[in-house]
Amino acid sequence: MRSLALGLLVLGGLGCQTTDVRTNDGRALPPVPSLIPPPPAGITIDAMTLLVGQRPIDVDGDGYPDRIEAAVALFSEDYAAASLRVPGTFLFELVLRGADPSPIACWTVNTDDPRLQSVDALYGPAWQIALDLREVADQVRPLSWVNLRGSFQPNQGMMVKTSEEPRLIQIGRGS
Protein backbone atom coordinates (compact mmCIF):
# COMPACT_ATOMS: atom_id res chain seq x y z
CA MET A 1 0.00 0.00 0.00
CA ARG A 2 2.83 2.31 0.89
CA SER A 3 4.57 1.64 -2.47
CA LEU A 4 1.32 2.39 -4.33
CA ALA A 5 0.96 5.73 -2.55
CA LEU A 6 4.62 6.53 -3.25
CA GLY A 7 4.12 5.65 -6.94
CA LEU A 8 1.07 7.92 -7.19
CA LEU A 9 2.98 10.72 -5.46
CA VAL A 10 5.90 10.40 -7.90
CA LEU A 11 3.55 10.36 -10.94
CA GLY A 12 1.63 13.34 -9.59
CA GLY A 13 4.88 15.24 -9.02
CA LEU A 14 6.12 14.62 -12.54
CA GLY A 15 2.80 15.61 -14.10
CA CYS A 16 1.89 15.41 -17.78
CA GLN A 17 3.25 17.63 -20.46
CA THR A 18 2.24 17.73 -24.12
CA THR A 19 5.23 18.38 -26.33
CA ASP A 20 3.85 17.60 -29.82
CA VAL A 21 0.30 18.49 -30.87
CA ARG A 22 -1.04 16.76 -33.96
CA THR A 23 -4.35 16.38 -35.74
CA ASN A 24 -6.31 13.14 -35.46
CA ASP A 25 -4.71 11.86 -38.68
CA GLY A 26 -1.17 12.38 -37.33
CA ARG A 27 -0.26 15.57 -39.21
CA ALA A 28 1.10 18.57 -37.34
CA LEU A 29 -1.23 21.53 -36.84
CA PRO A 30 -0.79 24.45 -39.29
CA PRO A 31 1.17 27.48 -38.12
CA VAL A 32 -0.65 30.35 -36.46
CA PRO A 33 -1.68 32.89 -39.16
CA SER A 34 0.19 36.16 -39.19
CA LEU A 35 -1.21 39.60 -40.01
CA ILE A 36 -0.93 40.85 -43.58
CA PRO A 37 1.49 43.77 -43.72
CA PRO A 38 -0.03 47.13 -44.72
CA PRO A 39 0.47 48.15 -48.37
CA PRO A 40 3.12 50.76 -49.11
CA ALA A 41 1.99 54.36 -49.66
CA GLY A 42 1.32 55.45 -53.24
CA ILE A 43 0.78 51.91 -54.51
CA THR A 44 -0.25 51.48 -58.17
CA ILE A 45 -3.14 49.21 -59.12
CA ASP A 46 -2.09 47.24 -62.19
CA ALA A 47 -4.30 44.14 -62.21
CA MET A 48 -7.97 43.34 -61.79
CA THR A 49 -9.85 40.07 -61.36
CA LEU A 50 -13.48 39.77 -62.41
CA LEU A 51 -15.48 36.71 -61.38
CA VAL A 52 -18.94 36.20 -62.89
CA GLY A 53 -21.79 34.03 -61.62
CA GLN A 54 -22.59 31.01 -63.79
CA ARG A 55 -26.15 31.94 -64.59
CA PRO A 56 -27.96 35.31 -64.62
CA ILE A 57 -31.06 35.50 -62.43
CA ASP A 58 -34.61 36.22 -63.61
CA VAL A 59 -35.63 38.72 -60.93
CA ASP A 60 -39.07 39.71 -62.23
CA GLY A 61 -40.22 36.25 -63.38
CA ASP A 62 -40.77 37.13 -67.05
CA GLY A 63 -38.51 34.32 -68.31
CA TYR A 64 -35.61 36.61 -69.29
CA PRO A 65 -32.47 36.79 -67.11
CA ASP A 66 -32.12 40.26 -65.55
CA ARG A 67 -29.37 40.25 -62.93
CA ILE A 68 -25.72 39.25 -63.34
CA GLU A 69 -23.78 38.51 -60.15
CA ALA A 70 -20.11 39.51 -60.23
CA ALA A 71 -17.15 39.96 -57.88
CA VAL A 72 -14.11 42.10 -58.52
CA ALA A 73 -10.72 42.49 -56.84
CA LEU A 74 -7.80 44.86 -57.48
CA PHE A 75 -4.11 43.96 -57.22
CA SER A 76 -0.66 45.48 -57.48
CA GLU A 77 2.56 43.78 -58.53
CA ASP A 78 4.31 45.90 -55.88
CA TYR A 79 2.20 44.32 -53.13
CA ALA A 80 1.68 40.59 -53.51
CA ALA A 81 0.32 39.99 -50.00
CA ALA A 82 -3.37 40.57 -50.80
CA SER A 83 -5.83 42.41 -52.99
CA LEU A 84 -6.46 46.10 -52.31
CA ARG A 85 -9.30 48.60 -52.05
CA VAL A 86 -8.70 51.99 -53.60
CA PRO A 87 -11.21 54.67 -54.62
CA GLY A 88 -12.17 54.89 -58.28
CA THR A 89 -14.74 53.89 -60.87
CA PHE A 90 -15.56 50.50 -62.39
CA LEU A 91 -16.91 50.09 -65.92
CA PHE A 92 -18.65 46.80 -66.72
CA GLU A 93 -19.57 46.01 -70.34
CA LEU A 94 -21.69 43.22 -71.76
CA VAL A 95 -20.52 42.26 -75.26
CA LEU A 96 -22.06 39.74 -77.65
CA ARG A 97 -19.81 36.76 -78.31
CA GLY A 98 -18.21 37.08 -81.72
CA ALA A 99 -16.54 39.70 -83.87
CA ASP A 100 -18.52 42.82 -82.85
CA PRO A 101 -16.76 44.36 -79.81
CA SER A 102 -19.37 47.08 -79.19
CA PRO A 103 -21.18 46.64 -75.86
CA ILE A 104 -24.90 45.94 -75.66
CA ALA A 105 -25.00 47.13 -72.02
CA CYS A 106 -22.70 49.24 -69.79
CA TRP A 107 -22.65 49.96 -66.07
CA THR A 108 -20.48 52.66 -64.46
CA VAL A 109 -20.11 52.18 -60.71
CA ASN A 110 -18.05 54.25 -58.25
CA THR A 111 -16.41 52.45 -55.34
CA ASP A 112 -18.63 54.39 -52.90
CA ASP A 113 -21.85 53.29 -54.71
CA PRO A 114 -24.08 51.24 -52.37
CA ARG A 115 -24.61 48.62 -55.14
CA LEU A 116 -20.95 47.69 -54.71
CA GLN A 117 -20.73 45.58 -51.53
CA SER A 118 -17.37 45.27 -49.76
CA VAL A 119 -16.43 41.69 -48.92
CA ASP A 120 -13.38 39.96 -47.49
CA ALA A 121 -12.31 37.08 -49.72
CA LEU A 122 -9.54 34.55 -49.12
CA TYR A 123 -7.19 36.67 -51.25
CA GLY A 124 -8.09 39.93 -49.48
CA PRO A 125 -10.60 42.74 -49.86
CA ALA A 126 -12.98 42.61 -52.84
CA TRP A 127 -16.38 43.85 -53.97
CA GLN A 128 -19.55 42.09 -55.05
CA ILE A 129 -22.16 43.61 -57.33
CA ALA A 130 -25.44 42.64 -58.93
CA LEU A 131 -25.61 44.17 -62.41
CA ASP A 132 -29.24 44.65 -63.46
CA LEU A 133 -29.70 44.42 -67.22
CA ARG A 134 -33.08 46.18 -66.97
CA GLU A 135 -31.31 49.39 -65.83
CA VAL A 136 -29.22 49.78 -69.00
CA ALA A 137 -30.70 47.69 -71.84
CA ASP A 138 -33.69 45.64 -72.94
CA GLN A 139 -33.43 42.19 -71.37
CA VAL A 140 -36.01 40.78 -73.82
CA ARG A 141 -33.56 39.23 -76.28
CA PRO A 142 -33.13 35.99 -78.16
CA LEU A 143 -30.98 33.40 -76.40
CA SER A 144 -27.34 34.43 -76.87
CA TRP A 145 -23.90 34.10 -75.34
CA VAL A 146 -22.33 37.30 -74.01
CA ASN A 147 -19.03 38.19 -72.39
CA LEU A 148 -18.79 40.46 -69.34
CA ARG A 149 -15.63 42.53 -69.32
CA GLY A 150 -14.52 45.14 -66.83
CA SER A 151 -12.12 47.98 -66.24
CA PHE A 152 -11.21 50.17 -63.28
CA GLN A 153 -10.14 53.81 -63.26
CA PRO A 154 -8.53 54.68 -59.91
CA ASN A 155 -8.90 58.26 -58.68
CA GLN A 156 -5.10 58.40 -58.87
CA GLY A 157 -3.45 56.35 -61.60
CA MET A 158 -3.97 54.66 -64.95
CA MET A 159 -6.93 52.55 -66.08
CA VAL A 160 -6.73 48.82 -65.42
CA LYS A 161 -8.61 46.25 -67.54
CA THR A 162 -9.49 42.65 -66.93
CA SER A 163 -7.78 39.99 -69.00
CA GLU A 164 -9.21 39.20 -72.40
CA GLU A 165 -10.24 35.68 -71.44
CA PRO A 166 -14.00 35.34 -71.87
CA ARG A 167 -16.42 35.42 -68.97
CA LEU A 168 -19.28 33.90 -70.92
CA ILE A 169 -22.85 33.86 -69.70
CA GLN A 170 -26.15 33.26 -71.47
CA ILE A 171 -28.87 35.89 -71.62
CA GLY A 172 -32.27 36.03 -73.32
CA ARG A 173 -34.47 33.04 -73.91
CA GLY A 174 -35.14 30.65 -76.72
CA SER A 175 -38.37 30.73 -78.70
Compute the distance between CA of residue 53 and CA of residue 15 in angstroms, rounded to an integer.
Answer: 57
134 belongs to a structural domain: yes
Q: Look up the pTM and report it.
A: 0.76
Largest alpha-carbon pair distance within the chain?
A: 95
User: How many structural domains is the chain composed of?
Assistant: 1
| Reported confidence tier of residue 91, pLDDT bands at 50, 70, 90 | very high
Model pLDDT for residues 128-166, shown as the tens digit of each residue? 999 999 998 877 788 888 999 999 999 888 889 887 777
Give a yes or no: residue 5 inside a domain.
no
With CA atoms as reference, report the closest residue to 113 among 136, 83, 90.
90
Q: What is the DSSP string of 11-23?
A: HHHH-------B-
The verdict on residue 35 lying in a domain is: no
In a domain, 121, yes or no: yes
- Contact status, residue 152 vs residue 98, Cβ threshold 8 Å: no
What integer pLDDT is reported at residue 25 of this predicted model? 79
Is there a domain that residue 56 lies in? yes
Taking the C-alpha atoms of residue 79 and residue 17, their distance in angstroms, rounded to an integer, is 42
pLDDT in tens, 97-131: 876 778 999 999 999 999 999 999 888 899 999 99
Residue 1 lies in a domain: no
169 CB-contact burial (10 Å; exposed 0-12 / middle 13-18 / buried 19+):
buried
Task: Name the residue range of residue 85's domain.
Answer: 47-171
Domain holding 148: CATH number? Answer: 2.60.40.2550
85 falls within a domain: yes
Q: What is the arithmetic mean of pLDDT over 74-94?
A: 91
Are 79 and 136 in contact by the 8 Å Cβ rule? The answer is no
**Within a domain: 2:** no
Q: Sign of the C-alpha dihedral, residues 139, 144, 148, 149?
A: negative
CA distance 69 to 150: 13
pLDDT tens sequence across 54-74: 889 998 888 888 899 999 999
